[in-house]
Structures are given as structure tokens and as C-alpha cells.
Amino acid sequence: VRGAPALGIAAAYGVVLGVQNYRGRSREAFYRRFKQIAAIIAGSRPTGRNLFWALERMEKVVKQNLQATVDELKQTLLSEANRILAEDKRTCRRIGTHGAKLLKSGDAVLTHCNAGGLATADFGTALAIIFRAHQQGKRLRVYVDETRPLLQGARLTTWELMHAGIETILICDNMAAAVMGQGKVDCVITGADRIAANGDTANKIGTYGLAVLAREHGIPFYVAAPVSTFDLSLASGEGIPVEERDPREVTEGFGRRIAPAGIKVYSPAFDITPARYITAIVTEKGIIRPPSGSAIRKVLK
Amino acid sequence: VRGAPALGIAAAYGVVLGVQNYRGRSREAFYRRFKQIAAIIAGSRPTGRNLFWALERMEKVVKQNLQATVDELKQTLLSEANRILAEDKRTCRRIGTHGAKLLKSGDAVLTHCNAGGLATADFGTALAIIFRAHQQGKRLRVYVDETRPLLQGARLTTWELMHAGIETILICDNMAAAVMGQGKVDCVITGADRIAANGDTANKIGTYGLAVLAREHGIPFYVAAPVSTFDLSLASGEGIPVEERDPREVTEGFGRRIAPAGIKVYSPAFDITPARYITAIVTEKGIIRPPSGSAIRKVLK
């Protein structure tokens, strides 16, 4: 599972599945089992906020219903997971509707990684904006970074956009600067894995470079994310933990070794884009433009 | 064959091989054959200046010796090709010696693509600087962009640096911004395929983005190239022809298809870095710092 919102949904259902085998009648023991399972799931991916947000929601419903029977608690957890899924579908559509206002017919968008249906319940965050604008009859062209090392752009985003009938052009990550320099890009839209209280945004490795390049070329840089991606406990992006990935994803990711044996690799899965490079953050509650601590608190409250 | 200086050397020997089969005694017909062969070689790669520079040198020695016999002309061409090869070896070492002054012990360098021995006669341009500084006892760490789509960084540069006993860390192209942002890079050094009269530089796709990112992070951006890479007939980089590559290098470059069938791909092999992003150009005749039309003419004359 990948994509911050999808991780949240999967975490919720993961808890539901994890507690199914609990056969006892003790609510206290059930709650301990719940905590064990939640800890295992929480340890799976450190960066995406939605994973922890979903686990916190799941824990809250357990704590609020500790008078219920174990069977009722299991049902309550399933209902909450279903609610998280249903809410994500609505959330993504609202992000799309808000964000579509940022696009006009004829625009070329550049996106990175996959923030589409395959990263959420079904409509995406960054791609929701493109899908909605396309549904409104706006003619769009989308440049898709292949997104090394795992190629989510090449494998997933291209497929989603082509499936929707939107003109799609695949590029290697290192071609984005040239494409911008040639005046071919009107805006950049990406998703987010975690957004700090000041708007600093963790997203797929390569996002930060795109944001710097966008500003250098006078191109708006938009982030699309649900409110559940915000982590107001972190003052800035410095506190966001960034997962490092297995070097073999770089050196052997395509089923063929592409670098000498013994080579050192540095492979952070995410980078942090300072808020000052972000033109606007599109949420289901509206557009935060420009992102700042007070603007974020105002929209999120 | 790849690498601008190596293309020049290969072009020279290609001419030598091409005229071997000429069995006539007519110098005029020999010259026509020479021109045909040179045109075929000139049509092989449009961007690298050294290819054309070498062909121009080869043509010059034919024209200067049109009184000679055909066998003598063949021998003259071989001697000129040998001279181009021998000169490149000296040139690369001089680039290394000049450029090594830019590095101090403890520095971390970021490089892109391959501008090493495998791109020249044997010592490289960008890598010559690193090799020479390392020979001088300076302790260096080199971050190597893998360099999609053809992975010259991952496949060639890592191998050359490891072979020389230099600490080498492979990253994906889209990680360079994060590595710079973390303060891990002291300078960027790349090669060049063609440099216009004003210092605008064509080099492997991704170079331009690195130059923008380096400036944003206050990191010097150096280009290393022999004088033969300069094209003073072009006022600026706008006139440099940029080769577009087969989309399959992006979609099937690893022996496994990584994108949906029918996807459009844009794959320029090179980009143009405006001179204003380049801190200095290191040539065998010295360092041009900062590069400008007058500074370039002064060093090249």
C-alpha cells in the first residue's frame, strides 16, 4: 500500500482484520490487543501523516465504547474504517472541485509520483484536481515525472490519466527543468505525505527540487492534500521523519542490476518542501493561499 | 560511443576506417569519398561539438595535402586521428590540474552523467578534476546522479570513481535537491557537450536543473570541458541542436516495460544551462570565471 490517504484507509482496515482473531471477552485485553496491532501498523511507514491519523481515530472509537462487548467493539471498528473510506471519497472530490478553479482550458500541468485514485480511496488528491477540471471540459496536458526509484509516475499516474482520456506525456525526473525552461508547464501539482503547522510539506523525493524549479520559472506550485495530512504538532518540516529505502530499489529496481556491486546508495523516500516555495495548498475545506501557520489554522479549524 | 571528447576521437578514427577501402588513385575522388564518410559520421549525433571539431580537423589535413598520394593521405589522416587522441589525454590532465584547485580536502562533489575516462581518451573532464584532487591527497566524497534514462552515472561514473578508490554515493536524479538542501554538497561539476560563445552550455539532460538548484543553495556549479567543446559560431545556447531520443529508452530501458503501452514520451538527450548559472568553466587553458563572451574569447585565443 502506498499514498498517504490510502495508507490511512489500509491502517483502519488493518486494525479491523487484526482484532478479528481476538476470541476473549475481556474489553481490557481487547484494548491491549488493539494497541499491539496499532503499534505494528504504525511502525510500517514513518512519514505519511494519514496512517497515524487513522489509527488515532480507530483508538478513539475503542476508548469511547469501552462499555460495549468485544463483538460490538469489533463492529464499531469496522464501521469507523468504512467511515474513513467513505469520507476519503468525498474529501477527494471536494479537493478536486476546489482545485479545478486553479486550472483553465489549455493548461499544461506537471505532476510527480502518484496522487491519484491509486493513492486514495478512488479519486486522488493532485489528480482529483486534474480529473475534475477535465470533467468540466477543460482541455489539459499533463507531464508526468516517472518518479525514481519506484516509478509511480510511469507505472500508475500515466495509467490513471490515459484511462481518463487526458493527454499525458511521460518524462524522466531530470527532464522537468528543461520542460519548464521551454515554457511548456503552467503549474505543478503534487500530493503530500505530511504537512507541518507552518505549511512545510513532506512528499515523494523530488518534490522539493520541482518546487525550487517552479519558482525559478515563475510557475505556481500547488500541493493537494486532505486535512488529515496536516500534523499541527510539528512546528515545521524539520520534525517530519523521512523514511530511507532499501538501496536495491535504486540498484536493482527493474529486475536488472544497474550499478556496480558494493556501491553506496542514499535513498530517502521523501523530501521536505519549505512552505515558501508552495503557492497554495488545496484541501477539502478550501484553498490555503499562500500557506502559513495562521492561514492553515483558519481553514482547518 | 558517448561523451563529447570520445565522440571526437571516434569520429577521427571513423574517417580513417572509412577511407581504408578506397582503392582508386584519384585524389579528387578520394576527397569526395572522405566528404561522404564525414557526412555520415556528422549525422550520427547532433549536439556534441567535438564530433564536428574532429571532422573539421580531419578535413583540414586532407585539403592541406591534396598534392600527396592517396596512400599518403590515408597515412596523414591516421596520424591526425592519433594526434587528436594524444592531445585529448594531455587536455584531460590539464583540465584536472586546473580544476583540482577548486577542491579542498573534505569536499563533497555532486556530478551528473559520465564525464570520465569513459567519455574521453582516458582521464575525463569533470572526473579529471576529482581524480587529480584525489591524487593530490584531498579526501573527497562524490554524489553521483544515476542519470536517467541511460544511467551513465549509475553504470559508468560509479565504476570509475570506485576503481579510483574515491568514496562514491549513488542517488537518483530527483534526490539531488534534497542532498543539497541537507548541506551535503560543496560543489557540482559536470562535463559539457557544446558551449556557445556566451558560455551557455549543452550537457546531459538534468544538468540545467542541477545548475538552478546549486544556485538556490549557494553551491558553486562548475563545467569542465576542453576548448574543442566550444562553438564560437553560436552566440548563445538557443542555437544548439538538442537530440531527442527513442521513447523506449525511457519506457523499456531496463529490459522491462515500465509504462503503459501507447504512452507519449518526451526525451531530450541534453538541456541548455544558461551561462548565468555557471560559476566557472574549467578548460585545459585555464579556468573561465565567471564565463562570459569576453572571458571565453580571452582564454580560447
pLDDT band for position A32 (50/70/90)? very high
- Give the pLDDT confidence score for residue B255 in this predicted structure: 78
Low-confidence ranges of chain B (pLDDT < 70): none
Query: At residue A74, does pLDDT exceed 90?
Result: yes
**Among residues B254, B154, B178, B156, which one has the least CA distance to residue A264?**
B154
Asked if the Cβ–Cβ distance from A209 to B258 is below 8 Å, we say no
The grid coordinates of residue B179 equal 542532498
Residue contact A266–B179, C-beta within 8 A: yes
Q: Is the pLDDT of residue A212 over 80?
A: yes
Q: Residue B120: what residue type?
A: T
Nearest residue in A to B262, CA atom = A162
pLDDT at A256: 86
- Which of A143, A172, A185 should we substitute to test contact with B (largest number of B Cβ atoms within 10 Å)? A172
Residue with cell 510500517: A44
Classify B259 in phi/psi space as left (phi over 0), alpha (psi -120 to 50) or beta. beta
- What is d(CA A59, CA A41) in angstroms, rounded to the nearest whole number? 13
Percentage of chain A modeled with pLDDT above 70: 100
How much is the pLDDT for B24?
A: 93
Rg (CA), chain A: 20
A71 Cβ contact partners less than 8 Å away, ≥ 6 residues apart: none
pLDDT score, position B66: 87
Residue A254 has pLDDT above 80, yes or no: no
Would an 8 Å CB–CB cutoff place A172 in contact with chain B? Answer: yes
In this structure, what C-alpha cell is assigned to residue A86? 467513505
Residue A301 has pLDDT above 90, yes or no: no
Report the share of chain A in percent with pLDDT over 90. 98
User: In this structure, are strands B194-196 and A187-190 parallel, antiparallel, or unpaired?
Assistant: unpaired
Backbone angles phi, psi at A200, to 5 degrees: -55, 135
Write out chain A residues lying below 8 Å of B171, CB-based.
250, 265-267
Find chain A residues with C-beta within 8 A of B209's C-beta.
174, 176-178, 209, 213
3-state secondary structure chain A: CCCHHHHHHHHHHHHHHHHHCCCCCCHHHHHHHHHHHHHHHHCCCCCCHHHHHHHHHHHHHHHHCCCCCHHHHHHHHHHHHHHHHHHHHHHHHHHHHHHHCCCCCCCEEEECCCCCHHHCCCCCCHHHHHHHHHHCCCCCEEEEECCCCCCHHHHHHHHHHHHCCCEEEEECHHHHHHHHHCCCCCEEEECCCEEECCCCEEEECCHHHHHHHHHHCCCCEEEECCHHHEECCCCCHHHCCCCECCCHHHHCCCCCCCCCCCCEECCECEEEECHHHCCEEEECCEEECCCCHHHHHHHHC
Is the entire prediction scored with pTM above 0.90? Answer: yes
How far, CA to CA in Å, does A188 sit from each of A146, A276, A291? 15, 15, 16
Mean pLDDT of A237-252: 96
Tally DSSP H helices, then E strands, for chain B.
11, 12
Is A22 within 8 Å of A70 (Cβ atoms)? yes
CB-nearest partner of A258 from B154, B174, B213:
B154
